[in-house]
Amino acid sequence: MENKLSNKKVAILVADGFEEVEFTKPLEALKNAGAEVDVVSLHDGEVKAWAEKDWGNSYPVTLTVSDANAKDYDALVLPGGVMNPDHLRENQEAVNFVSGFFDDSKPIAAICHGPWTLIETGELKGRRVTSYPSLKTDLVNAGANWVDEEVVVDNGLVTSRNPLAGKWWKRLEKVFTPEQACKKESGQYRRDSSLLLPTFYYFWKEPALIY
């Protein structure tokens, strides 16, 4: 595979109990595309996955969220799993880290239960999103426009109902181009063709950031 991301750095933010496949697939694909990927978590050492019905493997943590800065990254991935976002949204440092990507208009991909953490940033008002169905009420109460669709793209924010069903990996999803780039201004997002922001594409084996 062409190293399209050889000079890009992506953060995957997880806490214990993240859904394993929602972590391993993006991690593998991003690395295969040449990206530098940091696994950011609430504690150092290792973070433990949940594999559908039981605990899965443990994975090394690159750095803790207290040492991480959104300005050091080009994009953020938020895997799901029920326990994982519940831990993250209760941690103010994790919420601040995610907020930094919104502040700088950087791409965020949130899978399944992943959007739960986004609620705490206060940045979902008016944004079009999807998620695992049980999150609908919480997201609507946060001001989001929740839709029952496979994958939703809204100004650099990609949300998925489910990582496997709905062709999350097989379907080509264009998040935004420079002509559709968004810039946060006075609490709103406006189009700004001067911003050379990334474009996210998702495949079964190849999510890529195209610049």
pLDDT the model gives residue 151: 85
- H/E stretch holding 208: strand 208-210
Q: Which range has the worst mean pLDDT, 34-38, 59-63, 138-142? A: 34-38
* 159-198 per-position pLDDT tens digit: 988 765 444 443 333 433 333 334 444 444 443 323 223 3
Nearest C-alpha neighbor of 40 from the set 21, 27, 54, 52:
27
Q: Which range has the worst mean pLDDT, 31-35, 113-117, 183-187? A: 183-187
Q: Which of 43, 87, 113, 182 is catalytic?
A: 113
- Between residues 185 and 152, the one the model is more confident about: 152
Q: How confident is the model at residue 30 (pLDDT cuts 50, 70, 90)?
A: confident
Percent pLDDT > 70 in the chain is 76
Q: What is the mean pLDDT of the chain?
A: 81
Q: Is the pLDDT of residue 158 over 70?
A: yes
pLDDT the model gives residue 200: 43
Q: Which residues contact 133 (CB under 8 A, 6 or more apart)?
A: 148, 161
Q: Which residues contact 96 (CB under 8 A, 6 or more apart)?
A: none
Q: Respond yes or no: is residue 112 known to be catalytic.
A: yes
pLDDT the model gives residue 164: 54
135 phi/psi in degrees, rounded to 5? -90, -5
To the question of pTM greater than 0.85 for the whole model, the response is no
Q: Which of 43, 87, 112, 182 is catalytic?
A: 112
